[in-house]
Chains A and B, each alone.
Chain A
Amino acid sequence: MAQGSGNRSRLLLVILLVTALFFVTLDLRGVSLTKGSRSITQTMLSPVQKTVSTIFSPLGRFLSDVKNFGKTKTELDQALAQNKKLSSQLVLASETKGESAQLNGVLDLAGRGGYKVVAARVIGHGSASSFSQTITINQGSRSGIKKDMTVISQNGLVGLVKNITSTSAIVLLMSDPSFKVGVKITRSQSIGILQGQGNSSYSFVLLDPAGAIKVGDNLVTNGSDNNHPFIPGVPVGHVTVLDNSTAALVQSATVESYANLNDLGVVSVVLAAPAVAPSVPLRPTPNPTVTVLVTPTPTPSTSTTPTVSPSPTTSIKKK
């Protein structure tokens, strides 16, 4: 009797393992069934994510601030002192202001580059059960977003669109270890490859044997054919540490990105790049000092509040 039960268990184990391996094989061979199932899941999840994001984003940002407590203790003390004076309504208003500032910043960068962009709110982050680094945004194919489009924030490159549904898209962040982008040094125009490492630092390998890397060098995207996946001239980061290995065949360095990927509230997807790449390398503008006005907030207009259905397409001409 016990032996029969043991045999049934072994048979069940074999069936389940073979089924799982069958799915893995199908996926690795490119059968669309598995990709379709994830797309359906994303379509089902995105309305829930939008709702939850609207409700819980203040909590998420609060925990993000706690995470950076050691780094920005002074700023946090000031913020906490201010928070004591504010009512819950004003906290929500400052949340909107913060997103508005990010939106203004990203539109400013897009305007200086002459990009045609669509603004989007971040409604989800990658699952902790996978090692990939992604965000989910609340705009999809209905807004003109396609796969492999460049995504920027107010400070520079964020990543590229990995998957889309009609109302949402998943963006692969530039910090993901599988993310690689061709970049060039603005000072010397030498080109190289930047790769994510899963954290806030990036590895940069120079492809130009005659070129040289210096600490503080600014990097911008080099651009791809037909501007997909990367448009040229987007600020990426600056060199912080040189890797002085004499045995290395190529020069390499550690880079810090301009964009803070842990604090993304609003991003923009670049729908179209200008016909000619920006002649002057773009650099992100420093964040302005945020002043919280303790006055009753009127109903916000759509031009300053990304939360109230931002205009799906924002085209800004280069001045």
Chain B
Amino acid sequence: MSPTRIFSTLAFLFILFTIQESAISLIHFPIAGFSLYLAVAISLIAFEDHNGSLVVGFLAGIVLDLSPTSNAPFGQWALILTIVGYLFATNRESFADFTTSPVIFVFFVAAGATMALLMYLGFGTLVGEVNGSINHDLVILFGNALWTIIFTPMYLPALRTVRKISLTSKER
């Protein structure tokens, strides 16, 4: 990834983070909640090449770690999304190129977001965080996956366009 694109990706993630924290979080979703930020971050990770997935995952995690409402240690999301980036990068070819099929892509994004939240819970437990009952956590995981499946097709075309614009001629 070029420094210019790292900067533009970081700026995009900051804008997205602001939208998530100030607008999306105000909405009371019927089942649990929806993290637009996490869904878009996973989508960006999925679009990138091997190194790009790692870098975007790390940057997305660092921005998410800035959330003032989070009670997790700073760096936890960076660690988790870097690992998610690595898993996407290494397994992308195993499932063919899922970015070309919107339906499969949506389910991969939902699975990635759920996996990230599961890892967040697991790592949180290791460092002594209290995250509530298993039932409560399962509802949050299910709710987030459901809303990700519903909303991802809506933002996907716009995200593809934004990404195309941000690519340099060499990267295209």
Which residues of chain A have a CB within 8 Å of any CB of chain B? 8-9, 12-13, 16-17, 19-28, 34-35, 37-39, 41-42, 45, 48-49, 51-53, 56-57, 59-60, 63-64, 66-67, 124-132, 134, 136, 163, 170, 177-178, 196-199, 262
Expressed in whole angstroms, the minimum distance between the Cβ of B159 and any Cβ of chain A is 18
Expressed in whole angstroms, the minimum distance between the Cβ of A114 and any Cβ of chain B is 32
Expressed in whole angstroms, the minimum distance between the Cβ of B92 and any Cβ of chain A is 13
Contact call A262/B78, Cβ cutoff below 8 A: no
> Max chain A CB contacts within 10 Å: which of B58, B75, B76, B124?
B75
Question: Mostly helix, strand, loop or mixed at chain A's interface?
Answer: helix
Which residues from 34 to 85 on chain B have a C-beta closer than 8 Å to any C-beta of chain A?
Answer: 34-35, 37-38, 50-51, 54-55, 57-58, 61, 64-79, 82-83
Q: How far is the CA of A230 from the CA of B130 in the complex (A)?
A: 21
Q: How many A-B residue pairs have CB under 8 A?
A: 181
Contact call B69/A13, Cβ cutoff below 8 A: no
Q: How far is the CA of A74 from the CA of B127 in the complex (A)?
A: 46
Contact call A131/B27, Cβ cutoff below 8 A: no
Apart from A16-B57, A127-B70, list 7 A-B contacts with CB within 8 A. Answer: A17-B79, A34-B74, A41-B68, A126-B25, A129-B70, A163-B68, A178-B71
Which residues of chain B have a CB within 8 Å of any CB of chain A? 18, 20-30, 32-35, 37-38, 50-51, 54-55, 57-58, 61, 64-79, 82-83, 86, 89, 117, 120-121, 124, 127, 129-133, 136-137, 140, 144
Contact call B133/A28, Cβ cutoff below 8 A: no
Contact call A130/B28, Cβ cutoff below 8 A: no
- A20 and B25 in contact (CB under 8 A), knowing A38-B68, A38-B70, A132-B70? no
Chain A contacts of B89 at CB under 8 A? Answer: 9
Q: Which residue of A lies closest to B31 (CB)?
A: A67
Contact call A19/B58, Cβ cutoff below 8 A: yes
Chain A contacts of B133 at CB under 8 A? Answer: 177, 197-198
> Max chain A CB contacts within 10 Å: which of B32, B54, B89?
B54
Expressed in whole angstroms, the minimum distance between the Cβ of A7 and any Cβ of chain B is 12
Q: How far is the CA of A27 from the CA of B22 in the complex (A)?
A: 25
Name A198's contact: one of B28, B76, B83, B136 (CB within 8 Å): B136
Contact call B54/A27, Cβ cutoff below 8 A: no
- A26 and B26 in contact (CB under 8 A), knowing A9-B54, A16-B54, A128-B144? no
Contact call A24/B76, Cβ cutoff below 8 A: yes
Contact call B73/A27, Cβ cutoff below 8 A: yes
Name A20's contact: one of B28, B33, B61, B136 (CB within 8 Å): B61
Contact call A22/B75, Cβ cutoff below 8 A: yes
Expressed in whole angstroms, the minimum distance between the Cβ of B89 and any Cβ of chain A is 8
Chain B contacts of A8 at CB under 8 A? Answer: 51
Contact call B71/A132, Cβ cutoff below 8 A: yes
